[in-house]
Amino acid sequence: MLKREDMMELTRRMNVSRASMDRIAGSYMDEEGYSEGTFNVNFLKLSGSDKAKNLKIARSVLFGETNVQLKDYRFPGSSTRSVQMQRLLLQLRQCSLKNDAMMFTFYDEAAAHFQNFGKPYEVMMFHGVYDIPRKGSDHASQEESEEVYDYLVAAFCPMRGEYEPDEPVCGFLFPSFKDRSEDRDRISVFQKDPARPHSELERDILGIQMGK
């Protein structure tokens, strides 16, 4: 189970003055799943307004109601799809999204399975590094870093205008952030509407089993 306080700890660093994000990449997809353009930029070089706009999207994924909209899943080692996707995400994390060929592989996986948007959408991925401060016995934060959490946030957003993404309808955080530490064998998946989820994200793209 995810803890709300863990997600809040991450989102507190998702503002313009304290952003732990260092890179953002994405692809604009038409309603048939074909890419109409991509981008891959240093997040820190964006304007203040662009940083704020994109951080709002990343925060939306983690702001989802914990264990309802944002659920934790294990990558099943028996699934070829999940093994391949977990490996790809680990490689993207290692290169901080700077390998465009790997990003195109991820976009292709999304395009192959997301067919029910009915309108153009944008696939976005953020890379961030968070120095987790050590906490004393009284749970007050201290200065020393206890662990470095290297993570990815993905968001799938319908377009509301030309190159203007709306709020994400689904996405994920990888690796999962549990008990203030990473768990690379698990992934936290966001569904804005749990009653009508984009289940192809879990089932077809990530290769994980819902409810596991």
Q: What is the pLDDT of residue 77?
A: 75
- Per the document, the length of the chain is 212
pLDDT digits (tens, 9 = 90+) for 149-164: 999 999 999 998 788 9
The H or E element spanning position 134 is strand 121-135
Cα–Cα distance, 173 to 34 (Å, whole number): 24
Q: Which residues pair with 186 in a beta bridge?
A: 74
Percent share of the chain, pLDDT over 70? 92
Greater confidence, 6 or 139? Answer: 6
CA distance 3 to 108: 32
Whether residue 212 is predicted with pLDDT greater than 80 in this model: the reply is no
3-state secondary structure labels for all residues of 63-126? HCCECCCEEEEECCCCCHHHHHHHHHHHHHHHCCCCCHHHHHHHHHHHHHHCCCCCCCEEEEEE
